[in-house]
Structure 1
Amino acid sequence: MFLNKRLDTNAWNYSISPTNFYALNGKVATQAQAERMIQEHFYNPQEFWGDYIMPSIARNDPGYTGRDYWKGAIWAPMNFLVYLGFRNYDLPKARKDLARKSSDLLLKNWESKGQVLENYHAETGEYPGYRSEYFYHWGALLGMINMIEYGFMPPTEQQLQLIQ
């Protein structure tokens, strides 16, 4: 896994979070490394895999609560950035699983309460209890993942080529 590094102290951060997958956006991992990250971390129920994914910190981290801002709440922008990294590698199952679970999370709240949350409780998939808006624009990124994966909108890499 690619670790995060604090720029103010140059210390490595050994806590595992979705940001550790962001290295895939820069294409710095080999295909074998990406596959290992997926098998050992993404599909690990002690870390990220579960009914609702991806918590903002691994489930087995001592600070994990499943609902607090950076202690396990699920944030749509994090899922979206992880998904974009997956697109750089031959990871079709992981891409589809992340797309499906992200869409399911969005629809769970939209269909039952008309909410697109700022962040979500990692265990219940619902409002985390506090410090979250009930209708927040970036929550829609959970649905965009599915729309890109299944061809309902052009992938971001194609959109960037059009801009150039």
Structure 2
Amino acid sequence: MGVEEHRKEAPKSFRFGVVTISDKASRGERTDEAGQLIIETLKGLGEHVYYKVVPDDKIEILAAVFEAIKAGADVVITTGGTGITSRDVTVESLRPLFDKELSFGEVFRLKSYEEVGTAAVLTRATAGIIRGSRSVLIVVLPGSMNAVRTGLEILKAEVFHILKHARE
């Protein structure tokens, strides 16, 4: 079966949660524009079921992602904490949970390279499937608005296709 046939059999909606990882936003020192952009962009494709802003802290990140899953999210999108500073721990916190890692990051970096050149090597965006009583797609995006737009472009094109296969 080809890609187009798979897309025809894919779900038509999904439930999603958003977790913003930012020390400053968690303290109220910055508005979470990236998280709000994700919600506004995806609410036409699915049902928004969870939102939280947490600091760059492994336990806080994991707790929020698990809360989103418990709230019924089929897709959890995180934004922030994907850089290379000592406080950027999102990827290290979530990647070990993936039963299947996707090549999302490779495509993200290619698109980012087209936009920002070699600075794209600084991003560690990724995505993967966590399997439990049901399968959940986790998408880990950087915190910049431009990076979120790039990630959402990729996600919107493939989310239903990914969910179809994740549920098999």
TM-score w.r.t. length of structure 1: 0.30
Higher RCO (C-alpha under 8 Å, 6+ residues apart): 2
TM-score, with normalisation over the residues of structure 2?
0.29
Decide which structure has greater helix share: 2
